[in-house]
């Protein structure tokens, strides 16, 4: 999408659509629309047609309400679109992002260009963040995955023109950054939406190599099966045993210009398809399991643009990539594998495979000297039961880091909610034959016991675990996403990296 500026007022800009915004206010039981300056101005130019139409249509300025009007020459744009922002005191930048997602979705096939006066929107917020949210909303709402459709619908929408604003380098920078955030999110979406026979461990590894080739500050190493054997990643390789496609352990490294000892490790669960293994999933639960590499997709998304945001910290990305399949060579319940850090794991259910592969990737992060670890994993159905499809579960052994991640997530509108790393439940992961079992003895609190399992592999390194099983995949279209991969975690991680001073 192009974002252009014009010092003209919006009514004089040649665009298909002119956007006008209004808030809602609750008077007694009823809502009514609250006009702002641009509404009043355009209404005047349209000789009151806007307020009249709003009345007929009973437009009340509620969040996401949209009405369309033909302008019949009273303003240059051929249509005026009135958009409700909801109640003013409930309005925030995350709502703004979603509103622009909705607009972009609604008109992507119908209009070439849209213009708006941004002044009313900026009033209560930081200008940078208003632009950031708008650009992300537009870019993310514009996303489709139609690679496998016979007829590819081409998006028509090309340009947003910001009225009454002079172009300047700092605005251009903000827009470029928001575009990069969106592009990284979209890469993650594409990876999740790709069919699992294509998006294999090798596919992810090749992409990681390409990312490294495009930027001298990024290095990539791919550990093949035999390398992983040598290192002692028996846990990861155990899960990979049933697969005909070779496993890959992906290591990405970004080095900043300034020297620092701080290293943030981003670890992504990389199960390219989760059949459940010998404990096979029922069909309904397996349908979407190409999404079980959403954590890996987030890490790759981040690295794809990390050179543009240039964080002042070393960053490593780690992905143990393999599908979890069924074969004569599969792990079976009762098997024991030894992780890279020497801890043995009794496999009691092959469908709890994510934590087993991550035992090795988290151990590797510790071994590499990471000073902070953030992991992204579609780890448990239990987290979805607890928090639904929008919120990621957040677990941490370090309050300070947890706050930073929560803050980054909040700014980017990627909802997270803290859940306890409850020591009280630790004994549920005990095994009678190994150091730990891969499923707990109780079926309650499954997101917590899974997080407690991971905790055994991060030692005392400050760590945040995000269980993104719910929000990584949308089961229906939403304001900012289409059905499928959402790219969850990418923007939280980018914000977090950018905030490192
Ligand atoms: N990949 C799944 C978790 C999942 C479920 C992600 C639904 C997204 C949507 C994970 O590997 C899994 O199967 N977990 C089991 C754990 C159980 C066997 C202890 C689960 O959640 O049922
Ligand atoms: Zn599983
Ligand atoms: Zn899984």
Residue 152 has pLDDT above 80, yes or no: no
Pocket test for ligand 1, best of 274, 380, 450 (most atoms within 8 A of CB): 380
Phi-psi region of 195 (alpha: psi -120 to 50; beta: other; left: phi over 0): beta
Token digits of residue 457 = 């592999």
User: In 3-state terms, what secondary structure has residue 309?
Assistant: helix
> What is the distance between the alpha carbons of residues 497 and 429, in angstroms, rounded to a whole number?
33
Phi, psi of 481 (to 5 degrees): -145, 160
Pocket test for ligand 1, best of 322, 351, 384, 393 (most atoms within 8 A of CB): 351
> What is the distance between the alpha carbons of residues 56 and 6, in angstroms, rounded to a whole number?
33
pTM of this structure:
0.97
The residue-averaged pLDDT of 201-226 equals: 98
User: 12, 106, 221, 281: which is the annotated catalytic residue?
Assistant: 281
The residue-averaged pLDDT of 55-77 equals: 93
- Residue with tokens 């096979």, as numbered in its chain: 280
Minimum CA distance residue for ligand 1 atom 5 = 381
Q: Are 497 and 306 in contact (CB under 8 A)?
A: yes
The residue-averaged pLDDT of 60-66 equals: 93
pLDDT at 153: 79
The residue-averaged pLDDT of 274-296 equals: 98
Residue burial 78-113, b: 16+ Cβ < 10 Å; e: rest: ebbbbbbbbbeeebebbbbbbbbbbbbbbbbeebeb
| 133: CB partners within 8 A, 6+ apart | 93, 94, 96, 97, 100, 178, 413
> What is the distance between the alpha carbons of residues 42 and 40, in angstroms, rounded to a whole number?
6
Per-residue pLDDT band for 37 (boundaries 50, 70, 90) equals: confident
Q: Taking the alpha carbons of 81, 86, 92, 97 in that order, is the dihedral positive or negative?
A: negative
DSSP 8-state symbol, 194:
S
Pocket test for ligand 1, best of 287, 381, 454 (most atoms within 8 A of CB): 381
The residue-averaged pLDDT of 34-45 equals: 90
Residue 27 has pLDDT above 90, yes or no: no
Q: Are 405 and 396 in contact (CB under 8 A)?
A: yes
User: 355, 455, 488, 491: which is the annotated catalytic residue?
Assistant: 355
Per-residue pLDDT band for 347 (boundaries 50, 70, 90) equals: very high
Helix (H) or strand (E) holding 261, with range, is none
**Nearest-atom index, ligand 1, CA of 381:** 21
Q: In sequence order, what DSSP letters do the residues of 161-190 get, joined into one string?
A: EEET----HHHHHHHHHHHHHHHHHHHHHH
Q: How far is the CA of 320 from the centre of ligand 2 (A)?
A: 15
The residue-averaged pLDDT of 342-348 equals: 98
pLDDT at 57: 86
Residue 357 has pLDDT above 80, yes or no: yes
pLDDT at 122: 86
pLDDT in tens, 164-203: 999 999 999 999 999 999 999 999 999 999 999 999 999 9
Residue 339 has pLDDT above 90, yes or no: yes
314-324 and 248-254 as β-strands: parallel, antiparallel, unpaired?
antiparallel
Residue 30 has pLDDT above 90, yes or no: no
> What is the distance between the alpha carbons of residues 349 and 450, in angstroms, rounded to a whole number?
13
pLDDT in tens, 227-247: 999 999 999 999 999 999 999
Within 6 A (CB) of ligand 1 lie 274, 292, 349, 351-354, 378-382, 439, 446, 469
**Nearest-atom index, ligand 1, CA of 281:** 13
The residue-averaged pLDDT of 471-491 equals: 98
The residue-averaged pLDDT of 392-396 equals: 99
Q: Largest Cα–Cα distance in the chain?
A: 81
Residue 393 has pLDDT above 80, yes or no: yes
Residue 395 has pLDDT above 90, yes or no: yes
Token digits of residue 15 = 């665009």
Residue 141 has pLDDT above 80, yes or no: yes
pLDDT in tens, 298-316: 999 999 999 999 999 999 9
Measured CA distances, 178 to 12, 172, 183, 184 (Å): 27, 10, 9, 10
Active site residue 355: yes
Percent of the chain with pLDDT over 70: 100
pLDDT at 52: 93
Residue 501 has pLDDT above 90, yes or no: no
| 494: CB partners within 8 A, 6+ apart | 181, 184, 302, 305, 309, 412
Q: How many residues does the chain have?
A: 501
> What is the distance between the alpha carbons of residues 161 and 11, in angstroms, rounded to a whole number?
11
Per-residue pLDDT band for 38 (boundaries 50, 70, 90) equals: confident
On average, the pLDDT of the chain sits at 96
Minimum CA distance residue for ligand 1 atom 8 = 469
> What is the distance between the alpha carbons of residues 19 and 79, in angstroms, rounded to a whole number?
9
């Amino acid at each position: 999408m192009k974002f252009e500026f014009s010092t003209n007022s919006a009514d004089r800009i040649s665009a298909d659509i002119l956007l006008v915004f209004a808030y809602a206010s609750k008077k007694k039981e009823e809502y009514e629309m609250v006009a702002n300056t641009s509404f009043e101005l355009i209404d005047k130019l349209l000789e009151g047609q806007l307020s009249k139409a709003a009345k007929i249509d009973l437009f009340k300025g509620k969040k996401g309400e949209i009405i369309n009007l033909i302008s019949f020459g009273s303003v240059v744009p051929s249509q005026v679109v009135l958009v409700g922002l909801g109640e003013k005191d409930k309005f925030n930048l995350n709502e703004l992002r979603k509103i622009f997602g909705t607009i972009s979705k609604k008109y992507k096939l119908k209009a070439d260009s849209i213009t708006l006066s941004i002044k009313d929107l900026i009033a209560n917020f930081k200008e940078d963040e208003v632009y950031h949210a708008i650009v992300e909303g537009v870019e993310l709402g514009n996303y489709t995955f139609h690679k496998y459709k016979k007829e590819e619908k081409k998006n028509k929408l090309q340009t947003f023109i910001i009225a009454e604003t002079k172009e300047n380098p700092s605005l251009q920078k903000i827009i470029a950054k928001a575009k990069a955030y969106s592009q990284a999110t979209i890469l993650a979406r594409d990876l999740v939406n790709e069919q699992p026979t294509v998006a294999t461990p090798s596919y992810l590894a090749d992409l990681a190599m390409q990312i490294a080739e495009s930027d001298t500050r990024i290095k990539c190493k791919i550990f093949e099966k035999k390398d992983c054997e040598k290192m002692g990643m028996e846990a990861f390789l155990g899960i990979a045993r049933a697969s005909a496609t070779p496993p890959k352990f992906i290591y990405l490294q970004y080095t900043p210009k300034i020297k620092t000892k701080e290293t943030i490790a981003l670890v992504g669960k990389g199960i390219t398809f989760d059949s459940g293994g010998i404990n096979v999933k029922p069909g309904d639960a397996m349908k979407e399991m190409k999404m079980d590499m959403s954590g890996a997709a987030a890490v790759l998304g981040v690295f794809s643009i990390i050179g543009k945001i240039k964080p002042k910290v070393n960053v490593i990305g780690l992905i143990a990539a393999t599908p979890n399949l069924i074969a004569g060579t599969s792990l079976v319940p009762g098997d024991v594998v030894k992780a890279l850090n020497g801890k043995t794991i009794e496999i009691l259910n092959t469908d709890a495979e994510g934590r087993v592969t991550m035992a090795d990737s988290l151990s590797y992060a510790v071994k590499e000297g990471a000073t902070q670890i953030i992991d992204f994993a579609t780890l448990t159905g239990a987290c979805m039961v607890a928090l639904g499809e929008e919120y990621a579960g957040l677990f941490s052994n370090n309050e300070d880091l947890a706050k930073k991640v929560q803050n980054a997530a909040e700014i980017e509108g990627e909802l997270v909610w803290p859940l306890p790393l409850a020591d009280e439940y630790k004994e549920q992961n005990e095994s009678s034959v190994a150091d730990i079992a891969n499923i707990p003895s109780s079926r309650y609190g499954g997101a917590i016991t899974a997080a407690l399992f991971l905790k055994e592999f991060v030692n005392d390194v400050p760590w945040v675990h995000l269980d993104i099983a719910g929000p990584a995949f949308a089961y229906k279209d939403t304001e900012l996403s289409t059905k499928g991969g959402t790219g969850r975690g990418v923007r939280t991680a980018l914000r977090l990296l950018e905030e490192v001073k």
